[in-house]
Amino acid sequence: MTTKAASIRPSGARMKPRTRNTINGLLFASPWLLGLAAFWIYPTIASAYYSFTKFNGVQAPVWVGLANYIKLFTDDSNFWDAVYNTFYFAAVSIPLAIILAFALALMLNAKIRGQVVYRTIYFLPTLVPEVALALVWVYMFTPVSGIINAPFQYFGHRGPCWLTCEAWSRQTLVLLALWIIGQQVILYLAGLQDVPQDLYDAADVDGANPLHKFRHVTVPIVTPVIFFHLVTSVIGALQFFAIPYIMTGGTGFPANSTLFYSIYMYKQGFQYFQMGLASAMAWLLFVVTLIVTLVIFRTSRLWVFYSGGEQG
């Protein structure tokens, strides 16, 4: 079809359509081709190189081989604290977020009155800028006198110490993260609206009870959304930064329990100017992210159901 169009075209179109398309394609893509090179490919390679050097960002990097990696693995307890906190956060908050978002979407999908109002309300915390959200949380979760502890106070109890003690701080951050799942709720809702009605009708004919229908119709259709949520939230959790950083100023208080991987990397790079070490941390994170996503992708064929193609 393009050949025809080209032959009819008046002057100026002497080129073969294939050549012209290639030139046009490259021209239109050129901002991103430059952007990829400048803001993605070059920095990724440079960061790999820096990770093998001692580098303060100003003077020329000095090659030190694996020293940064060895130091992180053998001689840096902060690093391991940060790794533990980050994994704890990911492992606990992601399953809870999936369950909560899915459950909220299910309830909203029951054609109830005020759906739009509910949806807006669940989305509200997602709209508040992270800085404001983190600070209002600090204020709300102030031990003893904060609003969250008011019910405890009513019963003459001091209530949990939330963000100020190690026994509670990790769990509190997980709890806070559950507040910002508005986007995921919308995704699940969109997924639920894709469930074809005739599947439910067929299940009715087979005499399925609501639980069966949920297990064998609703859940399979929504698995692609769960999959998407899982992948994006793993990536997101491993990069968790702004909220704990704003709350604590990056100190990791209490007892390093809010020191997350990204915070520690930021401190190494931009406060102690150990940019080689920070680059090594970045690359380790990259490799872990790749492995985890790859595993999720690999296992996805076992549990993700795509209604389009039938190959499992």
Partner 1 sequence: MTAQPQTAQSSVQPRRTGIKRKQVKKAIRQLLVHLMLIPLALVFMLPFLWMLSTSLKPDTQFYSYPPVWIPNPLQWSNYPDAVTYISFFLYLRNTLTIAVLATIGSLISCSLVAYSLARIPWPGRNFLFIFTVATLMLPFQVTLIPLFVVYSRLGWVNSFLPLIVPHWFGSALYIFLLRQFFMTIPMELSEAARIDGAGELRIYWQVILPLAKAALATVAIFEFIARWRDYLGPLIYLSNQKLYTLSLGIYEYRSQYGAEWGLLMAASVLITLPIILLFFFLQKTFVQGIALTGIKG
Return the residues of window 193-252 that contact partner 1 according to CB under 8 A: 197, 200-201, 204, 213, 224-225, 227-228, 231, 235, 238-239, 241-242, 245-246
Shorter beta-carbon distance to partner 1: residue 90 or 108: 108
Report in angstroms how near the CB of residue 13 gets to partner 1 at its nearest.
9
Binding residue for partner 1, selected from 133, 161, 163, 177, defined by CB under 8 A: 133
DSSP 256: T
CB 281 within 8 A of CB 79: yes
Q: Min. distance of Cβ 157 from partner 1 in angstroms?
A: 13
Distance CA 126, CA 129 (A): 8
**CA–CA separation, 110 vs 137, rounded Å?**
31
Cis peptide before 196 (omega within 30 of 0): no
Judge whether 250 and 267 are in contact, CB under 8 Å: yes
CB of 110: closest distance to partner 1 in angstroms? 5
Cβ proximity to partner 1, 91 vs 127, nearer residue:
127
143 lies in the binding site for partner 1 (CB under 8 A): no
* Range 64-103, binding partner 1 (CB under 8 A): none
**Shortest gap between Cβ of 131 and partner 1 (angstroms)?**
4
Binding piece for partner 1, criterion CB under 8 A, among 86-94, 155-163, 165-173, 264-272: 264-272
Site string for partner 1, 152-181 (x = CB under 8 A): -xx------------------------x--
Q: How far is CA 105 from CA 125, 197, 198, in A?
A: 16, 17, 21
Report residue 236: phi and psi, to 5°. -65, -45
Q: Which of 29, 80, 248, 258 binds partner 1 (CB under 8 A)?
A: 29
Q: Is 118 in the site for partner 1 (CB under 8 A)?
A: yes
| Residue in 3, 15, 35, 216 binding partner 1, rule: CB under 8 A | 35
Max Cα separation, the chain? 88
161 or 275: whose CB is closer to partner 1?
275
Min dist. Cβ of residue 280 to partner 1 (A): 10
| 43 counts as binding partner 1 under rule CB under 8 A | yes
Tokens 């008046």 sit on residue: 10
What counts of helices (H) and strands (E) characterise the chain?
A: 16, 2
Q: Which residue has the tokens 């990056």?
A: 250
Residue 187 Cβ, how far from partner 1 at the closest point, in Å? 4
Q: Which stretch binds partner 1 (CB under 8 A): 69-77, 82-90, 160-168, 261-269?
A: 261-269
C-alpha gyration radius of the chain? 26
CB of 23 to partner 1, least distance (A): 8
Nearest-approach distance from CB 74 to partner 1, in angstroms: 22
Q: Evaluate the CA torsion angle 127, 129, 133, 134 in order and state its sign.
A: positive
Total site size for partner 1, rule CB under 8 A: 106
Contact 293, 236 (CB under 8 A): no
The phi-psi region of residue 160 (left if phi > 0; otherwise alpha if psi is between -120 and 50; otherwise beta) is beta
Strand partners, 54: 62
